[in-house]
């Protein structure tokens, strides 16, 4: 058996050349673990059971059975039982943190971790190693030690412009979790759509939209895969749908009126409902690409009121962000904003989501902020004039050109914007070359800069292996970039990175 093609590539892998056989006890093989309490451990077990079931096709009656045992072969020696899968919560060292793991394969398979999240991520690596051929379930023998470079490893999908069904979103969460991403950013409101059901304002929604119960179910589904769902409610710009439904809160330009006191109470009520639905520690409030109406009487009056006070914010926008930050903090959450308004003196307890051309996430962190790096040059999935943009993601890292560690830098996130309307939600995935980019992103936000020493051509081999094994029935537009793709493909066209299929010869 060849060495497994793993994405993201673990920090340390030692292959022995042998093969572990899990078929001797099949189909009623064992998953063993020492005595432990709590549902979080069950999440790792369920992930492993799902992986084996999907791979083998064994029926529910033949589904793996969890045996809670206190087996000295596991607890004392830390060695896998032959033909069995072991999951063990134990102290494996501080350097592994809360998401790292040790995976030993041969003669069985044992995942060890400091926490349930680490067990879960070890299972994701193991599932990529398993092979099922001629009724035989096996994996190459190895010892893997692995932990992430960054605590924030995210992906965003834009529901404000194009509604995506809960079933579709669950599928993307499944795939994100398999590649060890842990933040799923929902962009719920935009120019054309307000997708969040607000019970205090029943008319405030555009069809189709998500009920609060649907979103709660989605949050629970993601949490079972160690993914935090972060909601974004755009304000005070990017909100035409809101303004059409709440015209009395509109400014003289296409933004919410920051001079209207009713706006603040309305947004507070909305955010209270958002917090009830989403347990996320973070709530994103947008604030990008907009300014207040300079000719608006209400804004002018509000600014006169604010500017007469000592130590007042430098602009009305700065006042708006500070005031909404207080609302979010009052809900026990942390505010996230795009970095457009950074020069206004945003409070240091706000997380800055860096995206703009010319911005530099490590420099923002050096100013005393916590930062998420989503630089549009590198990890905007809708930017890029040609398929080599996957290479650009691979060669990027959230710390950019600054040596690690970078205090305050939380990590990185890919942004899957899709401005044009679509009739089929899967068109988004195809147009953006979503999955090739997602896998490159996953490698980089898990490995950080250390993995950039691995040539892109080696990563591409693993990428193509995953394409063939896991994405054969999903859109995966990707010409091999080690070849002269320009002779065969038009590539992603300008603007907004839409994929054009190969020309017919």
DSSP for 277-334, please give it. H---SEEEEE--S----TT-HHHHHHHHHHHTSTT--SSHHHHHHHHHHHHHHHTT-E
Which of the residue ranges 14-18, 55-59, 372-376 would you say has the lowest mean pLDDT? 55-59
Nearest-5° Cα angle at 441, 218 to 13: 105
Instruction: Say what the alpha-carbon torsion angle 489, 494, 497, 500 is, to the nearest 10 degrees.
Output: -30
Sheet strands (E) in 90-135:
101-105, 109-113, 131-133
pLDDT given for residue 38 in this prediction:
60
Nearest residue to 151 (alpha-carbon basis) of 325, 371, 329: 371
- Asked whether 260 and 312 are in contact (CB, 8 A), the reply is no
Alpha-carbon distance 23 to 258, whole Å? 65
For residue 498, pLDDT over 50 is answered with no
pLDDT given for residue 88 in this prediction:
84
Under DSSP, is residue 458 helix (H, G, I), strand (E, B) or coil?
helix
Please provide the DSSP assignment of 214-275 as one string.
HHHHHHHHHHTTT-EEEEEEEESSS-HHHHHH-GGGB-SSSSB-TT-HHHHHHHHHHHHHHH
pLDDT class for 406, splitting at 50, 70, 90? very high
Structural tokens at position 162: 């194009």
CB neighbours (10 Å) of residue 464? 15
Spell out the domain ranges in the chain: 12-146, 152-499
Nearest residue to 115 (alpha-carbon basis) of 11, 226, 279: 226
Query: For residue range 232-286, what is the model confidence (pLDDT) as tens digits?
Result: 999 999 999 999 999 999 999 889 999 999 999 999 999 999 999 999 999 999 9
Span 472-478, mean pLDDT?
Answer: 92
Nearest residue to 339 (alpha-carbon basis) of 353, 360, 357, 325: 353
pLDDT given for residue 78 in this prediction:
53
- The number of C-alpha atoms within 13 Å of 396 and in the hemisphere containing its C-beta is 26
**Of 69 and 480, which is predicted with more confidence?**
480
Handedness of CA 465, 484, 382, 476 (dihedral sign): negative
Query: For residue range 74-126, what is the model confidence (pLDDT) as tens digits?
Result: 544 456 667 778 888 889 999 999 999 999 998 888 899 999 999 999 999 99
- Asked whether 187 and 159 are in contact (CB, 8 A), the reply is yes
Nearest residue to 282 (alpha-carbon basis) of 180, 372, 359: 372
The rounded mean pLDDT for the chain is 88
Fold entry, domain 152-499: TIM Barrel (3.20.20)
Instruction: Say what the alpha-carbon torsion angle 206, 211, 216, 219 is, to the nearest 10 degrees.
Output: -30
For residue 499, pLDDT over 60 is answered with no
Domain pair 12-146 / 152-499, same fold: no
- 102 beta partners: 112, 145
The CATH number of 12-146, from 3.40.250.10, 1.10.150.530, 3.40.50.10490, 3.30.379.10, is 3.30.379.10
**Of 188 and 76, which is predicted with more confidence?**
188
DSSP assignment letter at 106: S
pLDDT given for residue 488 in this prediction:
38
Sheet strands (E) in 327-459:
334-338, 351-354, 371-373, 409-416
Strands 101-105 and 109-113: antiparallel
Sole residue written with tokens 């692995």: 146
CA 238 to chain centre: 22
- Asked whether 415 and 383 are in contact (CB, 8 A), the reply is no
Sole residue written with tokens 């950039």: 452
* Cβ-based neighbours of 269, under 8 Å, separated by 6 or more: 198, 200, 201
Alpha-carbon distance 500 to 432, whole Å? 10
Identify the H or E element spanning 66.
strand 65-68
Burial of 293 (0-12, 13-18, 19+ CB in 10 A): buried
pLDDT given for residue 24 in this prediction:
63
For residue 193, pLDDT over 80 is answered with yes
- Asked whether 121 and 102 are in contact (CB, 8 A), the reply is no
Query: For residue range 146-184, what is the model confidence (pLDDT) as tens digits?
Result: 999 999 999 999 999 999 999 999 999 999 999 999 999
pTM over 0.85: yes
Nearest residue to 230 (alpha-carbon basis) of 271, 185, 189: 185
Structural tokens at position 299: 């804004």
- The number of C-alpha atoms within 13 Å of 372 and in the hemisphere containing its C-beta is 26
Span 381-403, mean pLDDT?
Answer: 84
Span 299-319, mean pLDDT?
Answer: 93
Alpha-carbon distance 3 to 140, whole Å? 6
């Amino acid at each position: 058996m060849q060495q497994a093609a793993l994405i993201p590539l673990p920090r340390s892998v030692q292959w022995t050349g042998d093969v572990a056989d899990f078929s001797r006890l099949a189909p009623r093989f064992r998953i063993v673990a020492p005595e432990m309490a709590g549902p979080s451990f069950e999440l790792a077990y369920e992930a492993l059971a799902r992986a084996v079931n999907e791979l083998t096709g064994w029926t529910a009656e033949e589904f793996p059975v969890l045996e809670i045992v206190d087996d000295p072969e596991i607890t004392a020696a830390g060695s896998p039982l032959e033909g069995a899968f072991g999951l063990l919560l134990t102290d494996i060292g501080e350097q592994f943190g809360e998401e790292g793991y040790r995976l030993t394969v041969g003669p069985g398979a044992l995942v060890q971790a400091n926490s349930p999240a680490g067990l879960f991520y070890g299972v994701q690596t193991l599932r990529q190693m398993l092979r099922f051929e001629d009724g035989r379930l096996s994996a190459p023998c190895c010892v893997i030690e692995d932990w992430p470079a960054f605590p924030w490893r995210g992906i965003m999908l834009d529901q404000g412009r194009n509604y995506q069904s809960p079933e579709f979103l669950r599928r993307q969460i499944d795939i994100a979790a398999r590649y060890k991403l842990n933040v799923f950013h929902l962009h719920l409101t935009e120019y054309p759509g307000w997708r969040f059901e607000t019970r205090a304002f029943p008319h405030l929604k555009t069809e189709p939209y998500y009920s609060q119960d649907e979103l709660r179910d989605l949050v629970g589904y993601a949490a079972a895969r160690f993914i935090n769902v972060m909601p974004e409610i755009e304000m005070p710009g990017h909100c035409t749908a809101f303004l059409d439904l709440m015209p009395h809160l509109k400014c003289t330009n296409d933004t919410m009126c920051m001079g209207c006191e009713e706006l603040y109470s309305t947004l507070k009520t909305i955010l209270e409902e958002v917090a009830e639905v989403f347990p996320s520690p973070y709530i994103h409030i947008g604030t990008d690409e907009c300014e207040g109406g300079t000719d608006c009487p209400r804004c002018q009056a509000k600014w006169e009121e604010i500017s007469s006070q000592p130590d007042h914010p430098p602009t009305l926008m700065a006042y708006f962000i500070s005031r909404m930050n207080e609302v979010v903090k009052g809900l026990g959450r942390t505010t996230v904003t795009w970095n457009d308004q950074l020069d206004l003196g945003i409070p240091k307890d706000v997380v800055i989501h860096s995206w703009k051309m010319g911005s530099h996430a490590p420099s923002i962190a050096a100013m005393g902020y916590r930062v998420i790096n989503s630089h549009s040059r590198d990890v905007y999935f809708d930017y890029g004039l040609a398929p080599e943009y996957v290479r650009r993601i691979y060669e990027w890292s959230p710390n950019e050109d600054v040596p690690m560690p970078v205090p305050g830098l939380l990590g990185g996130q890919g942004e899957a914007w899709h401005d044009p309307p679509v009739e089929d939600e899967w068109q988004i995935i195809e147009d953006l070359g979503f999955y090739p980019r997602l896998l490159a992103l996953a490698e980089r936000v898990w490995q950080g800069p250390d993995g950039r020493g691995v040539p892109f051509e080696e990563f591409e081999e693993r990428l193509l292996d995953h394409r063939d094994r896991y994405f054969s029935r999903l859109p995966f537009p990707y010409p091999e970039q080690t070849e002269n793709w320009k002779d065969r493909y038009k590539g992603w066209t300008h603007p907004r990175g839409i994929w054009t299929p190969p020309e017919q010869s």
